[in-house]
Amino acid sequence: MKRQGTLVRWEKDRGFGFIRCPEISADVFVHLRDFTDRGTAPQVGMRVNFEEIHVGGKGPRAMSVQAAGAARQPQSQPQRRSAPPRRQPDRLVRSSASSSSPLPMVLLLVAYGALLGYGVWTARLPPIVLGVLALLSLLTFFIYGFDKNAAETGRWRTAESTLHLLSLLGGWPGAWVAQRLFRHKVRKASFMAGYWATVLAHMAAVGAWVGKLLPAGLLAF
């Protein structure tokens, strides 16, 4: 039988309580699982609608309990569809993809290797220079890795001027690999501008040396 009453007692830790209804002589037992809306938090003083039942002579019990007035509210509100994410203009997407493409650097490395090879072949560069440059790139790679770890752990950082100096001396290939692998410094436009300036300066110095545009007594890189 449909009834309406007030929740006069609620044992939160044990999950049950009692409803007082003026039409019923005894308080009506109610359990948490008897509430139809599981999102409702039972509170003393709450007005509720319920169905009265009797089980095994234990007194009245409430079933299908819901807060008074909940039945008059719509059961569900139509969900508004979220607008689909806007697609970036194709031009912007292509420009972003091209800026992160490794192809320009691969071509630059090939040209750099050819320049160094030509310098060794013409005796403008001693073969040991190739080993020194390789060690510089490896050293620069590890210093970038240490600096990335220091940035994440709050430890002492390597100065940007030191990173640029290593690139200028010939460690720029290792710096480029570390930037992509560790995702370090690539989002800082001012740093990347300085990095590319060191790359171009180093390449220009090596090209001038190999091309005999510098005095033989200087080692420009």
- The number of domains in the chain is 2
How would DSSP label each residue in 23-48? TSSSPEEEEGGGBS-TT----TT-EE
Q: Is residue 180 part of a domain?
A: yes
Query: What would the pLDDT profile of 20-59 be if each residue is shown by its tens digit?
Result: 888 887 888 888 888 887 777 887 888 888 888 877 667 7
CB atoms within 10 A of CB 3: 18
Distance between CA atoms of residues 159 and 149, nearest Å: 14
Q: Is residue 10 part of a domain?
A: yes
Regarding whether 109 and 189 lie in a shared domain, the answer is: yes
User: Strand ranges (DSSP E) for the chain?
Assistant: 2-11, 16-20, 28-31, 47-54, 60-67
Query: Over 80: is that where the pLDDT of 204 sits?
Result: yes
Regarding whether 202 and 128 lie in a shared domain, the answer is: yes
Q: Residue 73's pLDDT band (boundaries 50, 70, 90)?
A: very low
* Residue predicted with more confidence, 84 or 208: 208
Beta bridge partners of 81: none
Regarding whether 198 and 158 lie in a shared domain, the answer is: yes
Confirm if 19 and 5 have CB atoms less than 8 A apart: yes
Q: Is residue 38 part of a domain?
A: yes
Regarding whether 50 and 104 lie in a shared domain, the answer is: no
pTM of the model: 0.51
Regarding whether 202 and 107 lie in a shared domain, the answer is: yes
Which residue segment(s) compose the domain that 195 sits in? 100-210
| CATH number of the structural domain spanning residue 9 | 2.40.50.140
Residues 185-214 have a mean pLDDT of 89
∠ Cα 122 127 128 (to 5°): 145
Regarding whether 66 and 14 lie in a shared domain, the answer is: yes
Regarding whether 45 and 146 lie in a shared domain, the answer is: no
Confirm if 172 and 199 have CB atoms less than 8 A apart: yes
Query: Over 70: is that where the pLDDT of 207 sits?
Result: yes
Regarding whether 106 and 168 lie in a shared domain, the answer is: yes
* 16 DSSP 8-state letter: E
Regarding whether 59 and 19 lie in a shared domain, the answer is: yes
Q: Is residue 221 part of a domain?
A: no
Q: Residue 94's pLDDT band (boundaries 50, 70, 90)?
A: very low
Q: Residue 153's pLDDT band (boundaries 50, 70, 90)?
A: confident
